[in-house]
Structure 1
Amino acid sequence: MKTSLSPAAAAPLRDALGTEHRPAAGELRIVSLVPSLTELVCDLGLADRLVGRTGFCVHPRDVLKPIPKVGGTKDVKMDVVRALAPTHLIVNVDENRRETVEELAAFVPNVIVTHPCAPADNLDLYRLFGGIFHCADRAARLAAELGTALAEAQGVARELPREEVLYLIWREPWMSVARDTYISATLAAVGWDTLPADAGQRYPEIDWQVPWMAGVARVFLSSEPYRFRERHLAEVAALSGRPVAMIDGEMASWYGSRAAAGLRYLAALRRALAGVA
């Protein structure tokens, strides 16, 4: 798999909406409204250029403690962002409200819209950030690491039979993920296909009596956004009649620099649950 970001200057730097961005010039002041991409900004060596983040942007903790909070991913404090005078705003199609982003775009010169739908999409994300923020070398190293992790995930998916799984993100009501989500694509990379196969919503409510439940091989309880605990294992096992396991939600759902580590984590978990060393 090709992971090189070169030649960076040859291809336009376009975000998820097709907006073309130029390499930053002058003072760089970044506000990120996406937790996983705040982590990416730091891992690209740009922590000292980060002037604002949401309350959900918590990694790396020690680095982010002094960075001002601008609210949540969906309830952004406009006056706080305006006072920070950012040159660049990082947002995501799924995590931030369109009307919020449009309001911010009225006074932030550069709005970078992201929408990775599968682990491999991070390669374009690294190139985009590397080109805009003059950190192409660091971005290339992340791309190489992700290429290795993608190959490992593909190896596990070939090695073990594919399984259909139920990935729970909420309790009361019980909610799962549709196959067009980043979470589902990440699980699919190691051979776990999420159910339901067809869903009218990206995060559908679950009825334990639906016919497709018979196809579920195992159930995962995610650590986020609902904080499932060990005490929920027996409850879900009784409801589903299937093996149930805890899963690190950040490893399954965070893109950016977490993508490679997430794939390695899932590959190891897949092997462990299959009893393969």
Structure 2
Amino acid sequence: MTTPRFASERAPADLRDALGNRHLPAGAAPRIVSLVPSLTELVCELGLSDVLVGRTGFCIHPRETLRKVTKIGGTKDVKLEAVRALEPTHLIVNIDENRRETVEALAGFVPNVIVTHPCVPQDNFGLYQLFGGIFGREAEAAALSAGLREALDEAAAVKAEHGDEAVLYLIWREPWMTVSRATYISAMLGAVGWQSLPAEDEPRYPELDWTAPWMRAVERVFLSSEPYRFTDRHLAEVGVLSQRPSCLIDGEMASWYGSRAVEGLRYLAGLRRSLALRGAG
């Protein structure tokens, strides 16, 4: 992804996005378009829904708030002219979720492009600071940071209590696919002691061979609710294939960053405790 043209040498040094581009405070009347569902949620959590003018069809939380916000396509099939018509001052994108060529085209007419790339839960501190500083929501960002610290502490306590457990996290069927250690999902699971397999970093979303040697180390299998919506009917199939305990898991809680990271870590900590209790029973 190339560097957008909006960089300013006068911006505070700490208002840097994932590409190192500096940003000035937005001023009184920003117009935000977000191409990232979890960051659309963060924008609303920071009290900026009134200046959110565009979002993708996958930006669905908070539902009632977003009903009034214009859809501009999907995360990877953005309608450029629809964005242009909204006359945004700021565009929020993500390195993994949005196409480079789309972002480059949008950077031709959107003055400020905020590029994000959180890789671990702790990266959300930087997101809160960045968005809070740009859009004048420092107090709200500080409150989110406090909540994230508490959630990380809770996750660490659960990990310390229950130790590490090797898990397989399924994201797709036909072909079966999982996540690598280099993903944000793996880092979220790891925060509560669930170490995802395979242990490699690449490819980030590998196809799964149920007979692979590393499968012998898997102790538990998770079936995510997104991007493939696994349901109860898949549990028996996966149980036969893996010969391991398996359960459904809320994919939004494991994969959405931004403000959802706080709730997600607490959810994972609670799930870890719950499964441990079932095992003890």
Number of the residue aligned with 1:143:
145
Secondary structure of the equivalent of 2:98? coil
Q: Which residue of 2 aligns with 1:184?
A: 186
Letter in 1 for 2:100: R
**Structure 2, unpaired ranges of 5+:** 1-10
Q: Do the aligned partners of 2:182 and 2:201 also contact (CA within 8 Å) in 1?
A: no
Deviation of 1:79 (Å): 0.4
Determine helix, strand or coil for the equivalent of 1:21: coil
Task: Give yes or no for contact 2:12–2:23 (8 Å, CA) kept in 1.
Answer: no
- How does 1:27-38 map onto structure 2 within 5 Å? 27-38=29-40
Q: What aligned pairs does 1:141-180 form with structure 2 within 5 A after superposition? A: 141-180=143-182
- Describe the superposition over 1:87-136 as per-residue Cα deviations: whole angstroms up to 9, x where unpaired: 00000000001111000000000000000001110000000000000000
Let me know the Cα RMSD of the aligned residues: 1.2
Tell me which residue corresponds to 1:64. 66
C-alpha displacement of 1:198: 1.2
State the shift of 1:67 in Å: 0.5
Residue 24 of structure 1 is aligned with which of 19, 22, 26?
26
1:5 equivalent in structure 2: none
Give the one of 214, 217, 229 matched to 2:216: 214
The residue number in structure 1 matching 2:130 is 128
Amino acid at match of 1:72: G
**Hey, what's the Cα distance between the residues in 2 that align with 1:200 and 1:130?**
33
Q: Distance in 1 between matches of 2:137 and 2:33?
A: 17
- Secondary structure at 1:14 match in 2: coil
Shift of 1:28: 0.7
| Paired amino acid for 1:148 | E
Write the deviation string for residues 2-21 of structure 1: whole angstroms up to 9, x where unpaired. Answer: xxxxxxx9752000000000
In 2, distance between residues paired with 1:225 and 1:139?
Answer: 29
Any idea what the Cα deviations from partners look like across 1:216-238, whole Å, max 9, x if unmatched?
Answer: 00000000000000000000000
Write out per-residue CA displacement over residues 129-163 of structure 1, whole angstroms, 9 at most, x where no aligned residue.
00000000000000000000000000011111200
Q: Pick from 52, 55, 76 the counterpart of residue 54 of structure 2.
A: 52
Q: How many residues align?
A: 269
> C-alpha distance in 2, partners of 1:99/1:269?
39
- Equivalent residue for 2:17? 15
Residue among 73, 76, 79 paired with 1:74: 76
Q: Which runs of 4+ in 1 moved over 2 A?
A: 9-12
Distance 2:77 2:172 in 1: 21
In the alignment, the residues of structure 2 paired with residue 12 and residue 86 of structure 1 have an alpha-carbon distance, to the nearest angstrom, of 23
Helix, strand or coil at the partner of 1:175: coil
Worse-matched range after superposition: 75-84 or 21-30: 21-30
Deviation at 1:59, TM superposition (A): 0.1
CA distance in structure 2 between the partners assigned to 1:118 and 1:216 by the alignment: 22
TM-score (norm 2): 0.94
The one-letter code sitting in structure 2 at the alignment partner of 1:269 is L
Please state how far the C-alpha of 1:25 moved relative to its aligned partner.
2.2
Paired residues of 2:222 and 2:247 also in contact (CA < 8 A) = yes
Extract unaligned runs of 5+ from structure 1.
1-8
Q: Tell me how far 1:27 sits from its aligned partner.
A: 2.0
